[in-house]
Amino acid sequence: MKPRTLRRASELVAAGLVPPERRGEIERVVRRFAVAVTPHVAGLIEGASDPIGRQFLPDAAELRTAPEERADPIGDDRFAPLKGIVHRYPDRVLLKPLLVCPVYCRFCFRRETVGKGGALTARELAAAFGYIRRRPAIWEVIVSGGDPFLLSPRRLKTIVRELAAMPHVQVIRFHTRVPVVEPRRVTTALVAALAADKAVYVAIHANHPRELTVAARSACARLAKAGIPLLGQTVLLKGVNDDAATLEALFRALVAMRVKPYYLHHADLARGTGHFRTTLAEGRALIRALRGRVSGLCQPTYVLDLPGGHGKVPVGPCYARTHDTETWEIEDPAGVCHRYP
Ligand SMILES: *Cc1c(COP(=O)(O)O)cnc(C)c1O
Ligand code: SF4
């Protein structure tokens, strides 16, 4: 029998990923938040607390909500003029054609919505295209979800074709975890569906160097060979990648696979994710440790998506401060300060 994606507590127990005595608590988590572990990811898990298991296996800690945590941690609702669209910045818009993912990351910032709805209907999708078509200020469309690479190549092609035909849309950016968690889905047909005369970028979500398996690397290579620029997105996660050596290995591996690390996201205030969140001070110290020691290509921007919908803001360390009205004081990568006029 072909291995299937694991979704229920009983399946996780049967696969040996969760001990039988924890089945009851895991069932409660499964009722609250969607769970999915692809066979590819299941094969990488060495235990509930290893960096892969921690990201994908449900944990009773998810049932604890801290007072500062929210159902809508980055304020998407305020900027959702119609179903499937989030329009926060003037020049770009998020298009969410579906709310389904191949896996459900336990720290997901959209965990209250993903895994609960399906895909936009043909009529809803047409309305979303209409919204974008009528707004010449929209320069870029970010196709997200859920995970758009779960759509069939035929449906992906329709989306690319519709968007590329709008004269003001210059860039189409897909955000996906499929190349890492279900690499065999990146077929020749899927890659071909992304072809357009406009720039098509693919941003790949990866958090730990062990996710970059041989299969994941070849999935990325298929995209890169088709001329698609690849970006990396990483979430800073306690117990997964919150040490300089892991981040260094991850970013070096991504760059060597032709994936440019774009953002390192500070973990959002999604409900039941406190066990993953570092402090901003810890994040800044990690970024500082990479600067100067690791190639500039391997340095993503450390960003916080402000609660309330105020947008993404770089929150990395600052190396320049005013000394007096005439002079700046600039810290070099070794931590030594220099005067600059
Ligand atoms: C993250 C996000 C974007 C993309 O932001 P970039 O800084 O361009 O990567 C666009 N719209 C919304 C609503 C977002 O949350
Ligand atoms: S792939 Fe993205 S949207 Fe889906 S569960 Fe993970 S973080 Fe959330």
**CATH number, span 68-315:** 3.20.20.70
On the question of pLDDT at 277 being above 80, the answer is yes
What is the predicted pLDDT for the residue at 48?
Answer: 78
Q: How do residues 197-227 score in pLDDT, each as one tens digit?
A: 999 999 999 999 999 999 999 999 999 999 9
User: How many Cα atoms occupy the beta-carbon half-sphere of 286 within 13 Å?
Assistant: 27
What is the predicted pLDDT for the residue at 1?
Answer: 61
Q: Does the CA dihedral 197-255-263-175 come out positive or negative?
A: positive
Q: What is the mean pLDDT of residues 13-39?
A: 96
Ligand 2 centroid vs 83 CA: distance in angstroms?
18
On the question of pLDDT at 232 being above 70, the answer is yes
Ligand 2 centroid vs 146 CA: distance in angstroms?
6
Q: Alpha-carbon distance 149 to 266, whole Å?
A: 24
Confidence of residue 117 (pLDDT cuts 50, 70, 90): confident
Q: Whose CA is nearest to atom 3 of ligand 2?
A: 146
What is the predicted pLDDT for the residue at 49?
Answer: 86
Contact 4, 36 (CB under 8 A): no
- 80 CB neighbour count, 10 Å cutoff: 17
Q: What is the mean pLDDT of residues 306-317?
A: 95
Q: Starting from the CA of residue 110, give the closest ligand.
A: 2
Residues of the chain within CATH 3.20.20.70 domain(s) are 68-315
Q: One-letter amino acid identity for 230? A: L
Q: Whose CA is nearest to atom 8 of ligand 1?
A: 92
Contact 199, 30 (CB under 8 A): no
Omega prior to 227 cis, within 30 of 0: no
pTM above 0.85?
A: yes
DSSP state of 114: T
- Pocket residues for ligand 1 (CB within 6 Å)? 86, 88-89, 92, 94, 142, 312
On the question of pLDDT at 80 being above 70, the answer is yes
What is the predicted pLDDT for the residue at 237?
Answer: 98
Residues that are catalytic? 88-89, 92, 101, 105, 108, 110, 268, 305, 312
Q: One-letter amino acid identity for 296? A: G
Confidence of residue 243 (pLDDT cuts 50, 70, 90): very high
Ligand 1 centroid vs 260 CA: distance in angstroms?
17
On the question of pLDDT at 2 being above 80, the answer is no
Q: Alpha-carbon distance 74 to 304, whole Å?
A: 9
In ligand 1, the atom with minimum distance to the C-alpha of 93 is: 11
